[in-house]
């Protein structure tokens, strides 16, 4: 029987006594005569299986007006994702007496109150309640067996200083028998974890995972800091990490160290949560990453293949995104808006390097790397929204596109700076190699821009001019015009020149693409975007069209997202039936009669189509050097630096 929740001892009183015992005046508590006195935070997570977190904070403050902020703009999400709507039961007091508060008229993340005379500590208590369904990729997660604790959920902080100025001393109470993982360290006694005092920025940047089923897997690499894979799962069986996967993860650590030539962290932990309640997602942090995948992601072959690039991508972000960060994405606190115009560097370059490291570490075979690259190229080539929207505009509008519905993705465009960034930076890599007779590559840029000296976490902000200057140090070229044509301008064709310059070409035929098949199995979809121009999702007993590409046969006859497929050529719909109807169409137009339900109305749409099933692949260009194989060749153990 689970222990019934009992409120913890009144933490604010304890913190207040501590401050009084130290002889600190309210002025000193604010740091006027020295460092800020730490905020004391206690999180009671014993009701995490009920999706409830209880937060208590003791915040040093001086008498007079005080504004408290709940974190709004969160690093890595690039948008105001702080889930303030789930904060409930807010109570503020000082010296044991209630303090009235009011929410700001224009900023719902700000709370105003007045600290009474003679008090030095503002006591804040509230509960955080997680939604059970409809959550996004970065939402909190808890089940009966595990939880992910993102600290921004359970804290407020005073206005008036940079977030880095505040320090926080934290304690967490877990359900009985749970263990935890976090790069913060900490000591666990029974169900209580005492964590060291760190800056507010470090705390928010260091999530904690905990659960009844926990495993820590060391990833030793000679000469490197400590690396570890920490896993929590909804079952013991899910913790059985295959030996080959562990070796690939060790190679990932080694290959990344060779690529960048430095580590900007004291240690690094891959935090992996395995639960079918989780949306597949990853969120970067400087010394760790918050990765979430289905419960059997390490066991099921299709799922493992589909999520292979998740940990490499978030790992690269420790260098690109956390250490080096666009100035517009590095505000001094969590309330000021971020500017995403350089997300094609932050996310796009990371997507490319993450894919390359996935191959160099053996998580992808060379064939799987090429198949994934073909899927990306085909997807970007099919974006009809390219005709009106530049890649740079998708970066500036990231805060809206991340949460956009799946319907009409092709026409609207999505956060394409991720996938198209792979193609963009592959082309950069091939241009450097061509202009330097293969003596230099994008690896040299990484060593220059993200490399030595090693050290603890810090942020080095940059602008576009810094990126261009670093590229020119590697290979002189008109990089400004290069990016202007591919990023700033509206461009109808996808940037696939890098594939061709690497000795390959994008082709389509009826052979299945292994990586697309894995994606379809994981998402429960049928992707026919390269044939009749639509994608179908199977959920809740329905087969729903989730996207139609303008100009394709499906769009020409009037099909649209949101319609439900009922029958194909007079037979009940199934993926096999639709594929079978497409196969004999090769060489001669065939007729597909699709019975569709649309908001209670039924209609048959007839498509004339003669090209059969089509899937993307890369084909080697005759007599052209195979630069792709050179790019993904393992580098660990070889000398680094410019040749």
Query: According to the model, what pLDDT value does residue 583 have?
Result: 80
Beta bridge partners of 605: 594
Query: According to the model, what pLDDT value does residue 584 have?
Result: 66
Query: According to the model, what pLDDT value does residue 14 have?
Result: 36
Among 135-139, 165-169, 632-636, name the one with the lowest average pLDDT.
135-139
Give the tokens for residue 74.
Answer: 């969160």
Beta carbons of 269 and 288 less than 8 angstroms apart: yes
Mean pLDDT of 502-507: 98
75 confidence band (pLDDT: 50, 70, 90): very high
Which of 43, 214, 68 shows the shortest CA–CA distance to 145?
Answer: 214
- CATH class of segment(s) 531-613: mainly beta
Q: Is the pLDDT of residue 20 over 60?
A: no
Query: According to the model, what pLDDT value does residue 638 have?
Result: 59
Give the tokens for residue 3.
Answer: 């222990």
- CATH class of segment(s) 1-210: mainly beta
- CATH class of segment(s) 324-501+624-631: mainly alpha
Query: According to the model, what pLDDT value does residue 349 have?
Result: 98
Query: According to the model, what pLDDT value does residue 25 have?
Result: 31
Residue, of 5 and 145, whose pLDDT is higher: 145
172 confidence band (pLDDT: 50, 70, 90): very high
Query: According to the model, what pLDDT value does residue 541 have?
Result: 82
CA atoms of 514 and 301, how far apart (whole Å): 12
Residue, of 18 and 222, whose pLDDT is higher: 222
Q: Is the pLDDT of residue 73 over 50?
A: yes
Residue, of 363 and 14, whose pLDDT is higher: 363
- Domain positions in the chain are 1-210, 324-501+624-631, 531-613
Query: According to the model, what pLDDT value does residue 4 have?
Result: 34
CA atoms of 181 and 197, how far apart (whole Å): 17
Q: What is the pLDDT of residues 506-548, one digit of tens each?
A: 999 999 999 999 999 999 999 999 999 999 999 888 999 999 9
Mean pLDDT of 93-106: 97
Mean pLDDT of 181-186: 97
Which of 300, 234, 314, 305 shows the shortest CA–CA distance to 271?
Answer: 314
Mean pLDDT of 388-394: 97
Beta carbons of 387 and 332 less than 8 angstroms apart: no
Beta carbons of 140 and 128 less than 8 angstroms apart: yes
Round the average pLDDT of the chain to a whole number and report it. Answer: 91
Q: Is the dihedral of CA 632, 636, 637, 643 positive or negative?
A: positive
Q: 567 vs 22, 540, 545, 598, CA distance in Å?
A: 76, 17, 13, 13
641 confidence band (pLDDT: 50, 70, 90): very low
Q: Is the pLDDT of residue 22 over 50?
A: no
Q: What is the pLDDT of residues 543-554, one digit of tens each?
A: 999 999 999 999
Query: According to the model, what pLDDT value does residue 140 have?
Result: 77
Query: According to the model, what pLDDT value does residue 636 have?
Result: 92
């Amino acid at each position: 029987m689970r222990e019934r929740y009992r409120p913890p001892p009144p933490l604010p009183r304890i913190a207040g006594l501590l401050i009084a015992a130290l002889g600190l005046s309210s002025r000193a508590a604010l740091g006027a005569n020295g460092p800020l006195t730490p905020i004391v935070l206690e999180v009671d997570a014993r009701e995490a299986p009920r999706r409830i977190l209880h937060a208590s904070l003791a915040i040093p403050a001086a008498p007079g007006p005080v504004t408290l902020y709940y974190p709004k703009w969160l690093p890595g999400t690039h948008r105001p994702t702080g889930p303030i709507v789930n904060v409930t039961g807010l109570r503020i007091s000082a010296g044991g007496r209630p303090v009235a508060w009011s929410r700001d008229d224009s900023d719902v993340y700000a709370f105003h109150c007045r600290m009474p005379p003679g008090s030095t500590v503002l006591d804040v208590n509230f509960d955080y309640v997680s939604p059970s369904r409809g959550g996004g990729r970065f939402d909190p997660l808890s089940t009966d067996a595990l939880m992910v604790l993102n600290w921004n959920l359970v804290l407020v902080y005073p206005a008036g200083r940079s977030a880095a100025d505040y320090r926080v001393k934290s304690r967490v109470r877990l359900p009985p028998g749970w263990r935890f993982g976090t790069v913060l360290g900490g000591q666990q006694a029974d169900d209580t974890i005492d964590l060291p005092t760190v800056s507010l920025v470090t705390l928010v940047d260091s999530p904690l995972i905990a659960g009844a089923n926990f495993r820590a897997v060391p990833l030793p690499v000679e000469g490197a800091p400590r690396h570890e894979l920490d896993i929590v799962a909804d079952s013991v069986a899910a913790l059985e990490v295959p030996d080959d996967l562990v070796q690939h993860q060790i190679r990932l650590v080694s290959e990344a160290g060779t690529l960048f030539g430095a580590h900007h962290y004291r240690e690094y932990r891959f935090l992996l949560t395995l639960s079918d309640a989780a949306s597949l997602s990853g969120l970067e942090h400087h010394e760790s990453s918050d990765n979430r995948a289905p419960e059997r992601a390490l066991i099921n072959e299709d799922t493992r293949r589909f999520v292979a690039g998740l940990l490499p991508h978030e790992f690269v972000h420790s260098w690109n995104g956390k250490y080096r960060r666009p100035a517009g994405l590095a505000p001094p606190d969590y309330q000021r808006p971020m500017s995403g115009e350089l997300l094609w560097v932050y996310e796009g370059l990371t997507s490319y390097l993450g894919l390359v490291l996935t191959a160099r570490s053996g998580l992808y075979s060379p064939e799987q790397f090429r198949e994934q690259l073909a899927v990306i190229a085909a997807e970007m080539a099919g974006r009809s929204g390219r005709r009106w929207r530049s890649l740079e505009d998708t970066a500036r509008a990231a805060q809206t596109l991340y949460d956009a519905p799946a319907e009409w993705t092709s026409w609207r465009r999505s956060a394409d700076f991720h996938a198209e960034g792979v193609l963009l930076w592959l082309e950069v890599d091939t241009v450097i190699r061509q202009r330097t007779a293969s003596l230099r590559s994008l690896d040299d840029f990484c060593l220059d821009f993200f490399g030595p000296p090693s050290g603890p976490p810090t942020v080095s902000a940059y602008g576009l001019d810094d990126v261009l200057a670093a590229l020119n140090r590697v290979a002189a070229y008109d990089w400004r015009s290069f990016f202007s044509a591919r990023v700033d301008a509206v461009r109808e064709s996808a940037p696939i020149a890098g594939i061709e310059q690497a000795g390959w070409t994008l082709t389509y035929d009826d052979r299945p693409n292994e990586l697309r098949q894995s994606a379809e199995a994981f998402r429960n979809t049928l992707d026919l975007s390269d044939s009749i121009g639509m994608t179908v999702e199977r959920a809740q007993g329905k087969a729903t069209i989730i996207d139609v590409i303008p100009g394709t046969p499906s769009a020409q006859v009037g099909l649209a997202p949101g319609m439900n497929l009922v029958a194909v050529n007079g037979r009940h719909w199934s993926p096999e039936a639709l594929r079978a109807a497409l196969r004999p169409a090769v060489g001669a137009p065939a007729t597909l009669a699709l019975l569709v339900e649309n908001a209670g109305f039924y209609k048959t749409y007839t498509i004339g189509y003669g090209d059969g099933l089509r899937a993307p692949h890369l084909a080697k260009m005759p007599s052209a050097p195979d630069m792709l194989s050179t790019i993904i060749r393992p580098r660990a153990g070889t000398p680094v630096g410019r040749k």
